[in-house]
């Protein structure tokens, strides 16, 4: 038998005159008591009598008072439910009939008496109900309805008589914000579960689900309001939350709260008085004025945050023509409908007409109800305002129709979109920008909450947060195959998160690249741990025969990954002194480990693959060993490596493995890359290699351009920057930057690159990388070619934000201007450096 403390008792936040919210639970119904003078008793009867006696002992009012008022209304089925329930019946209730408010209540549940091990078992068993990894639309709607009930319950009246618990901006609003955000994220991030409101707000800020300024405002208000609440209740042990209306009593309360004293500093700002002379003449007025101002500042801050919950980005889009309102009701007029679609920018008119009918009628197996059609008519103006501004309206409409037809709770979903224009805008932005990401999204409808929570979802995540998230998920399973699936699902979710924010222009190209690079590193670290554990178990080893590091090369090393990028890796190890007789050598063991790691990442399961791995940049390329000892790596580069291999090491960085070896390896990489300054012959060699790449890889023609390896492409800038780094990096350590933009800035600071050329190359690089990004995000392949066909250029131009009557022509003109400026700068520098004495 166990007693759960709920609410403020569970959160260890009781007032001076609190009820205590309890739930009673016992283990099971089978068996009987051993018997006594009254005979045997079934468990339900026995534990009901125990709970009744416990409740009376605590709450009955006798001459000496009572211990605590007890409130049992949070138990399953509330006042209509049994006082005590068995664990199986409780689980059945929550799994079958549990509501969202009960999930919120269980966030604070804490075993406080009885068999606490049974209590912890229940909390573990019920966690899938409380902490859902994926949200459904009813959850969002329920939270919004709960919020509405809080708003409707606000008592009227000014600060005299103000209710600090239920009033506008009061304690209940602070608690609701903390609990609602926890509920939305705790399924994917268990670390945000905190029973205490203050600790919960701290954790939400720490995990970046709540802005630091909002967290500080809510905490300051909560401390102040709870302090006032305590001072109200401790006078006569009265369960009150309302300020006194009598001025003398209010002044007394303000003094008990110590308004104006240093002790109030952590409870909120002390505002300046508008009339200090009046305060000197009337000290009582001073205290009241300060108290009212503190109350106003705190409650207004809280209510603003509370009100913005779920509405942070919901500015309505531009109103479309009235025809959109009538469109859904006039679908039977095909010719007129096609005319409207063409007017709004659709091009594949017959296909879009069919998709429009699917959206309106629903699939054959589940035709639209009158309620759903009414919601669709209401949504149509917003829907077509967004679709008509999408990069590809036909694709956006097709994807929306497919989504609505394939999910459950269609009416709830349409209602959600109607009430949340930001969610609709995000969906259409994704659907119109990327067929590739849309396919992922439609294959994984459980990821819909990544869009529904657009006001709460994190645009930026740091590596530590990603690793903590993945580690927590991997820790939940033990089987190797399950771990492979978790790695793939996590990569899919995060990849989609980045793509959604990128498609909706919440990330620029460098921010998107940084997020994709951190995701790749996180997956590498997780995959390495999975592979290492599996290999040690297979070989019956307790430890590896040395230390291994994984070195990221190219775009991964520079944190410049794009969509569809392979991971360029090399593997270096330091062996132990002696592997011992009969044991695998370090070379053999680490080769097996790397092979297992590559398999973990590349093998295709039902969830797909994590990343493709390219190891050709290792010493001796394809003919070389998969792994190299530090000694062999050093010897190779001192004796045999070519200039292009030194050039590749500019971007090299340790990304996973045994990080105790990181500093030593990165010092070695820097020494190999920058140890010797290249001369004019080296400059010429880099220029020659660049020419070969353009000739052999670009395949350009009059109507086809390669934005990466073609004339004036990305590689022009990268090779120019790397040539200057190898030319001057030995003398100027600040030039030893892995990222191209960082290296350009360092070259300017070192006064090697003039300001005008810095601006030209930086702008050109960002332009080309953004163009590459938009090409790659559209399809699941490393696209570098830009075709001078109106349809492709128009689609790309729209995704880049070009508008007007001729977006394709504008894009082409900008691209050709940039490539000529970049090529001229490249040619000027290489001619100059090859001619130096």
3-state DSSP of 51-109: HHHHHHHHHCCECCECCCCEECCCCCCHHHCCCEEEHHHHHHHHHHHCCHHHHHHHCCC
Q: pLDDT averaged over the chain?
A: 85
- pTM, two decimals, is 0.66
| pLDDT exceeds 50 at position 837 | no
Q: Are 452 and 135 in contact (CB under 8 A)?
A: yes
Say which CATH topology domain 680-834 has.
1.20.120
CA–CA gap between residue 500 and residue 288 (Å, rounded): 51
pLDDT tens for each residue of 184-215: 777 777 888 899 999 999 999 988 888 899 99
Sequence spans of domains, the chain: 1-130, 134-310, 323-448, 463-674, 680-834
Contacts of 79 (CB under 8 A, 6+ apart): 73
Rounded to the nearest 10 degrees, what angle do helices 410-419 and 421-433 cross at? 100
Give the dihedral of Cα atoms 448, 450, 453, 456; nearest 10 deg.
170
Q: Are 668 and 630 in contact (CB under 8 A)?
A: yes
Q: Percentage of the chain surpassing pLDDT 70?
A: 87
| pLDDT exceeds 90 at position 732 | yes
Instruction: Name residue 24's beta-bridge partners.
Output: 3, 84
Q: Please check whether the two domains, 323-448 and 680-834, share a CATH topology.
A: yes
Task: Report the 10 Å Cβ neighbour count for 417.
Answer: 27
Out of 374-383, 475-484, 777-786, pick the least confident: 777-786
Greater confidence (577 vs 658) lies with 658
Greater confidence (326 vs 543) lies with 543
| pLDDT exceeds 50 at position 276 | no
Question: What pLDDT shows up at residue 403?
Answer: 84
Say which CATH topology domain 463-674 has.
Beta Polymerase; domain 2 (3.30.460)
CA-based end-to-end distance of the chain = 89
Out of 155-164, 332-341, 463-472, 658-667, pick the least confident: 155-164
Helix%, strand%, coil% for the chain, nearest 5: 60, 5, 30
- Token reading at 561: 């990954």
CA–CA gap between residue 377 and residue 348 (Å, rounded): 23
| pLDDT exceeds 80 at position 778 | no
For the 323-448 domain, the top CATH level (class) is mainly alpha
Say which CATH topology domain 134-310 has.
1.20.120
Contacts of 346 (CB under 8 A, 6+ apart): 352, 393, 394, 397
Query: If pLDDT is split at 50, 70 and 90, which confidence band does 315 have?
Result: very low
| pLDDT exceeds 60 at position 556 | yes
Question: What pLDDT shows up at residue 159?
Answer: 46
Contacts of 835 (CB under 8 A, 6+ apart): 680
Greater confidence (323 vs 24) lies with 24
Contacts of 744 (CB under 8 A, 6+ apart): 721, 753, 758, 761, 762, 765
Greater confidence (804 vs 796) lies with 796
Query: If pLDDT is split at 50, 70 and 90, which confidence band does 384 have?
Result: confident
Instruction: Name residue 25's beta-bridge partners.
Output: 2, 85
pLDDT tens for each residue of 748-772: 999 999 999 999 999 999 999 999 9
Say which CATH topology domain 1-130 has.
Beta Polymerase; domain 2 (3.30.460)
Helices (H) and strands (E) in the chain, counts: 35, 12
Q: What is the mean pLDDT of residues 522-536?
A: 96
Rounded to the nearest 10 degrees, what angle do helices 807-834 and 755-778 cross at? 130
- Token reading at 648: 């590749």
Question: What pLDDT shows up at residue 758?
Answer: 95
pLDDT tens for each residue of 661-679: 999 999 999 999 999 999 9
Q: What is the mean pLDDT of residues 232-257?
A: 81
Question: What pLDDT shows up at residue 781?
Answer: 64
CA–CA gap between residue 642 and residue 647 (Å, rounded): 9
Pairing between β-strand 613-614 and β-strand 653-657 as defined by DSSP bridges: unpaired
Contacts of 542 (CB under 8 A, 6+ apart): 536
Give the burial class of 5: count Cβ atoms within 10 A of its Cβ; 0-12 exposed, 13-18 middle, 19 or more buried: buried
Greater confidence (147 vs 32) lies with 32
Largest Cα–Cα distance in the chain?
111
Cα-to-chain-centroid distance, residue 327: 37
């Amino acid at each position: 038998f166990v007693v759960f403390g709920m609410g403020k008792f569970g959160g260890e936040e009781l007032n001076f005159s609190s009820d205590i919210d309890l739930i009673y639970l016992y283990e099971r119904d089978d068996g009987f008591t051993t018997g006594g003078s009254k005979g045997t008793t079934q468990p339900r009867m026995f534990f009901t009598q125990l709970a009744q006696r416990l409740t009376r002992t605590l709450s009955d009012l006798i001459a000496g008072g009572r211990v605590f008022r007890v409130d049992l209304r949070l138990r399953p089925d509330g006042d209509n439910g049994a006082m005590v329930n068995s664990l199986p019946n409780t689980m059945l209730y929550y799994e079958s009939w549990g509501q969202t408010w009960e999930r919120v209540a269980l966030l604070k549940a804490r075993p406080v008496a009885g068999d606490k091990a049974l209590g912890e078992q229940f909390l573990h068993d019920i966690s899938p109900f409380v902490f859902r990894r994926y949200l459904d639309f009813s959850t969002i709607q329920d939270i919004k309805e709960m919020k509405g009930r809080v708003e409707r319950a606000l008592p009227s009246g000014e600060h005299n008589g103000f209710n600090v618990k239920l009033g506008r901006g009061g304690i209940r609003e602070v608690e609701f914000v903390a609990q609602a955000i926890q509920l939305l994220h705790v399924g994917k991030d268990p670390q945000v579960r905190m029973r205490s409101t203050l600790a919960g707000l701290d954790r939400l800020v720490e995990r970046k689900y709540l802005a630091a300024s909002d967290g500080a405002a809510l905490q300051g208000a909560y401390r102040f309001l709870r302090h006032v609440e305590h001072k109200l209740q401790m006078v006569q042990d009265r369960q009150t939350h309302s300020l006194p209306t009598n001025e003398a009593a209010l002044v007394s309360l303000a003094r008990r709260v110590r308004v104006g004293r240093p002790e109030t500093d952590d409870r909120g700002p002390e505002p300046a008085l508008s009339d200090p002379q009046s305060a000197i003449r009337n000290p009582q007025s001073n205290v009241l004025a300060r108290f009212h101002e503190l109350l106003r500042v705190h409650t207004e801050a809280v209510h603003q945050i509370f009100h913005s919950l779920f509405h942070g980005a919901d500015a309505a889009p531009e109103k479309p023509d009235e025809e959109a309102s009538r469109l859904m009701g006039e679908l039977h007029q095909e010719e007129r409908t096609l005319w409207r679609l063409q007017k709004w920018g659709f091009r594949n008119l017959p296909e879009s007409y069919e998709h429009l009918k699917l959206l309106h009628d629903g699939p054959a197996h589940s035709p639209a109800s009158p309620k759903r059609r009414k919601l669709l008519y209401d949504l149509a103006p917003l829907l077509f305002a967004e679709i008509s501004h999408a990069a590809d309206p036909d694709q956006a409409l097709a994807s929306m129709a497919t989504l609505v037809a394939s999910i459950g709770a269609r009416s709830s979903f349409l209602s959600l979109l109607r009430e949340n224009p930001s969610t609709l805008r995000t969906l259409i932005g994704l659907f119109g920008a990327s067929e590739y990401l849309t396919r992922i999204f439609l294959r994984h409808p459980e990821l819909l909450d990544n869009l529904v929570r657009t006001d709460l979802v994190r645009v930026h995540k740091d590596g530590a947060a990603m690793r903590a998230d993945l580690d927590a998920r991997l820790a939940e399973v033990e089987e190797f195959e399950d771990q492979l699936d978790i790695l793939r699902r996590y990569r899919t979710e995060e990849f989609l998160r980045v793509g959604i924010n990128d498609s909706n222009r919440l990330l620029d190209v460098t921010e998107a690249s940084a997020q994709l690079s951190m995701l790749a590193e996180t997956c590498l670290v997780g995959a390495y741990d999975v592979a290492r554990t599996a290999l040690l178990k297979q070989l019956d080893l307790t430890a590896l025969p040395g230390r291994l590091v994984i070195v990221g090369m190219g775009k991964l090393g520079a944190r410049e990954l794009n969509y569809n990028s392979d991971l360029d890796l090399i593997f270096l190890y330091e062996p132990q002194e002696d592997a011992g007789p009969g044991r695998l050598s370090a070379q053999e063991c680490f080769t097996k480990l790397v092979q297992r790691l590559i398999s973990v990442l590349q093998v295709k399961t039902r969830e797909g693959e994590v990343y493709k791995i390219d190891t050709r940049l290792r010493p001796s390329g394809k003919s070389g060993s998969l792994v190299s000892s530090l000694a062999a790596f050093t010897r190779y580069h001192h004796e045999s490596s070519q200039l292009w291999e030194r050039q590749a090491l500019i971007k090299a960085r340790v990304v996973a493995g045994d990080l105790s070896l990181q500093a030593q390896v990165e010092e070695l990489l820097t020494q190999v890359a920058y140890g010797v300054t290249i001369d004019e012959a080296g400059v010429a060699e880099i220029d020659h290699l660049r020419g070969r790449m353009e000739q052999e890889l670009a395949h350009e023609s009059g109507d086809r351009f390669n934005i990466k390896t073609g004339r004036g492409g990305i590689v022009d800038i990268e090779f120019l920057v790397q040539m200057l780094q190898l030319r001057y990096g030995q003398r100027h350590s600040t030039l030893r930057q892995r990222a191209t933009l960082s290296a350009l800035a360092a070259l300017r600071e070192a006064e090697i690159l003039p300001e005008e050329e810095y601006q030209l190359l930086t702008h050109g690089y960002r332009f080309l990388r953004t163009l590459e990004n938009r090409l790659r995000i559209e399809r699941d392949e490393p696209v570098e070619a830009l075709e001078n066909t109106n349809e492709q250029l128009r689609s790309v131009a729209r995704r880049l934000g070009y508008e007007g009557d001729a977006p394709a022509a504008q894009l082409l003109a900008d691209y050709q201007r940039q490539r000529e400026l970049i090529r001229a700068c490249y040619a000027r520098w290489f001619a100059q450096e090859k001619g130096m004495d």
